[in-house]
C-alpha cells in the first residue's frame, strides 16, 4: 500500500513509513493512493468464513505487498483473539458488539492490530519507539493494553484531568512498566493539540522516534474495516440492504466503514451518529464545516469538536458533498435523549447499552423510520455498558455485573503525572524520559 498526504498528493510513502510516522510532516493525513476492491467470489462466500479469515482476506488485499501473507495471518491470529458478534435487538435492528477485547471497547481492534504490525516491523530493525497518544478515555486504555510490555516500545498517554470516567482513568493509569500516564490540566482538544505539536517539534524528533496511536494512524483504521465485513457476513442471510449506525467522535470508525464500502462491501447507508458535538451532521446538512470547542456529554469518548478524520472522509469523496450525502446521513442527540434510549431499550428488550451505543441506536432507529424500506439495521456497540456503570445504573435503576477484568483494574492504585496544557510541559517530560533511557 502506498499512501499520500492529504495536503500534498505528490508526497508518497510506504505503508511502513505511514505506520511509524502517523502523520505526514506537512500536517495532512495519510490516505491510500489506491483502494482495491475484493472479488465477487469473496462476497458470495463471506458467510462461510471466520472473522480471522475475513480479516486476512481484507488485509492481504490492502497490505499484502508490505507484509507476506503468512506473516499477516500470524499477526491476525495473535491480535484478533476476541469475537465481534451481531446480536438481534428487535425487529430489523441488530447490535454489532465490539467490546469483547481487553479494554472492553472497540478501540482494542485498532490498537492490537497496530501493535502487531509495529512489532513485526521493529523485529527487523531492532529499534526503540515512543508511542504518543491523546485520549478522551477509551483510546488510551486500548493502546496501553495493546502495547503493554512490548519490547522496544514505550507508551505515553495524555488524558484530560477530571474528564474521563473513574474506570477509564483506572484503565489508563494502573498498568505501569512501559506505559506512562500524563494527566493534563485541560480538555481533550488540548491533549490532541499537544500531541500534534509534539510530532512537528524538531527537538523531540531528534531525541526519539515518535509514533502516533490515535485514530489518525492508518494501521488503526484498517482493522476497523474488518468487522463491517464480518457484520455483513453475519446478516447476509436476511438478504436485506444493510445500514450501519456508527457512534462517532473523531470519525475513525466511520471512515473505516466507508473504506470497506469502497472495497466493495454492499452498504446501503451509514448513519453518522453523534452527541451534541455535531459538527459533521451539521456539515452534511449545510455543507459548512465549523470546528469548535467540544462540549462535555455522557458519551464522553465522542466529545470532539474538531474530528481528526473529517479530512479523510471528504477526501474519500473528493470533496463532493452530494456524493457524501448519498452514503452518509448525520444524526445528533442530547444526553436526555441518550438516557431515555438506554432506559427504553432496557425496559423493552432487557439489553443494556452504554451511552455511546445508545447514540448509535437513536441514529439507526430514526433513519430506519424515515427510510420506510425493508432494511437490515446494524448499530455499532463501541463499549461495554459496565465501563459507564455509574450513569447506566442510575438510568436503568438496576445493577450491572462488571466483567472480572474490570473489577481487578479498579483495585489497583492510580499512577499519573499532572501536567499543564502546553507543548513545553509535554516536552519536559518526554525529554527527561529520553535521557533516562
Residues known to be catalytic: 107
CB 201 within 8 A of CB 427: yes
Choice between 3 and 142, CB closer to ligand PLP:
142
The cell numbers describing 229, all together, are 465485513
Q: Pick from 82, 111, 114: which is nearest to 97 by CA?
A: 82
Cα pseudo-dihedral 131, 415, 139, 384, rounded to 10: 150
DSSP 403-434: -HHHHHHHHSPP--EEE-SSHHHHHHHHHHHH
- The nearest distance, CB 44 to ligand PLP, in angstroms, is 30
Task: Tell me the backbone φ, ψ of residue 194, rounded to 5 degrees.
Answer: -60, -40
CB 153 within 8 A of CB 118: yes
Using CB under 6 A, list all residues that contact ligand PLP: 105, 107, 138, 215, 247-253, 301-302, 356, 382-383
**What's the rounded Cα separation, in Å, for the pair 379 and 239?**
17
- The nearest distance, CB 250 to ligand PLP, in angstroms, is 3
- The nearest distance, CB 246 to ligand PLP, in angstroms, is 7
**What's the rounded Cα separation, in Å, for the pair 128 and 176?**
18
- The nearest distance, CB 143 to ligand PLP, in angstroms, is 11
Radius of gyration from C-alpha coordinates of the chain: 20
- Residue 52: Cβ within 10 Å count: 16
Choice between 121 and 310, CB closer to ligand PLP:
310
Choice between 130 and 360, CB closer to ligand PLP:
360
Choice between 250 and 409, CB closer to ligand PLP:
250
Choice between 116 and 247, CB closer to ligand PLP:
247
- The nearest distance, CB 360 to ligand PLP, in angstroms, is 8
H/E segment holding residue 96: strand 93-97
**What's the rounded Cα separation, in Å, for the pair 37 and 247?**
26
* DSSP letter (8 states) at residue 237: G
Choice between 191 and 301, CB closer to ligand PLP:
301
Residue, CB closest to ligand PLP = 138
Q: Pick from 111, 123, 252: which is nearest to 179 by CA?
A: 111
The angle at the Cα of 113, spanning 6 to 318, to the nearest 5 degrees, equals 20
- The nearest distance, CB 159 to ligand PLP, in angstroms, is 12
Helices (H) and strands (E) in the chain, counts: 19, 14
107-125 helix and 69-79 helix, angle to the nearest 10 degrees: 130
- The nearest distance, CB 26 to ligand PLP, in angstroms, is 23
Choice between 6 and 245, CB closer to ligand PLP:
245
- The nearest distance, CB 338 to ligand PLP, in angstroms, is 12
Choice between 67 and 175, CB closer to ligand PLP:
175
The angle at the Cα of 269, spanning 263 to 272, to the nearest 5 degrees, equals 100
Distance from chain centroid for Cα 182: 21
* Residue 134, SS3 per DSSP: strand
Amino acid at each position: 500500500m502506498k499512501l499520500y498526504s492529504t495536503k500534498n498528493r505528490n508526497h508518497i510513502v510506504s505503508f511502513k513509513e505511514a505506520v511509524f510516522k502517523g502523520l505526514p510532516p506537512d500536517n495532512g493525513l495519510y490516505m491510500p493512493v489506491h483502494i482495491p476492491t475484493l472479488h465477487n467470489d469473496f462476497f458470495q462466500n463471506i458467510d462461510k468464513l471466520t472473522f480471522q479469515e475475513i480479516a486476512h482476506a481484507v488485509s492481504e488485499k490492502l497490505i499484502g505487498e508490505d507484509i507476506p501473507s503468512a506473516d499477516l495471518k500470524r499477526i491476525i491470529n495473535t491480535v484478533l483473539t476476541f469475537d465481534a458478534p451481531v446480536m438481534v435487538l428487535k425487529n430489523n435492528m441488530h447490535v454489532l458488539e465490539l467490546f469483547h477485547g481487553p479494554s472492553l471497547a472497540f478501540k482494542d481492534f485498532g490498537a492490537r492490530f497496530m501493535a502487531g504490525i509495529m512489532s513485526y516491523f521493529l523485529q527487523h530493525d531492532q529499534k526503540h519507539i515512543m508511542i504518543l497518544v491523546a485520549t478522551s478515555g477509551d483510546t488510551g486504555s486500548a493502546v496501553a493494553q495493546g502495547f503493554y510490555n512490548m519490547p522496544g516500545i514505550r507508551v505515553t498517554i495524555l488524558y484530560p484531568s477530571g474528564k474521563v470516567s473513574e474506570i477509564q482513568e483506572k484503565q489508563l493509569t494502573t498498568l505501569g512498566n512501559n506505559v506512562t500516564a500524563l494527566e493534563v490540566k485541560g480538555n481533550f482538544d488540548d491533549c490532541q493539540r499537544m500531541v500534534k505539536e509534539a510530532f512537528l517539534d524538531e527537538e523531540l524528533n531528534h531525541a526519539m522516534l515518535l509514533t502516533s496511536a490515535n485514530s489518525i494512524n492508518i494501521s488503526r483504521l484498517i482493522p476497523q474495516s474488518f468487522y463491517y465485513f464480518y457484520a455483513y457476513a453475519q446478516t447476509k442471510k436476511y438478504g436485506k440492504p444493510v445500514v450501519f449506525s456508527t457512534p462517532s467522535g473523531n470519525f475513525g470508525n466511520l471512515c473505516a466503514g466507508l473504506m470497506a464500502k469502497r472495497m466493495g462491501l454492499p452498504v446501503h447507508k451509514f448513519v453518522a451518529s453523534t452527541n451534541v458535538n455535531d459538527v459533521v451532521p451539521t456539515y452534511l446538512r449545510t455543507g459548512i464545516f465549523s470546528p469548535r470547542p467540544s462540549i462535555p456529554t455522557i458519551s464522553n469518548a465522542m466529545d470532539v469538536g474538531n474530528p481528526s478524520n473529517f479530512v479523510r472522509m471528504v477526501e474519500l469523496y473528493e470533496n463532493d458533498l452530494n456524493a457524501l450525502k448519498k452514503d452518509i446521513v448525520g444524526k445528533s442527540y442530547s444526553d436526555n435523549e441518550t438516557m431515555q434510549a438506554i432506559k427504553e431499550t432496557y425496559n423493552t428488550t432487557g439489553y443494556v447499552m452504554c451511552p455511546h451505543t445508545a447514540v448509535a441506536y437513536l441514529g439507526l432507529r430514526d433513519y430506519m423510520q424515515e427510510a420506510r424500506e425493508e432494511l437490515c439495521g446494524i448499530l455499532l456497540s463501541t463499549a461495554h455498558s459496565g465501563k459507564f456503570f455509574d450513569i447506566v445504573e442510575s438510568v436503568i435503576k438496576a445493577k450491572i455485573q462488571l466483567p472480572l477484568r474490570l473489577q481487578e483494574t479498579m483495585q489497583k492504585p492510580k499512577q499519573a503525572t499532572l501536567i499543564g496544557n502546553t507543548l513545553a510541559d509535554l516536552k519536559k517530560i518526554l525529554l527527561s524520559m529520553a535521557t533516562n533511557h
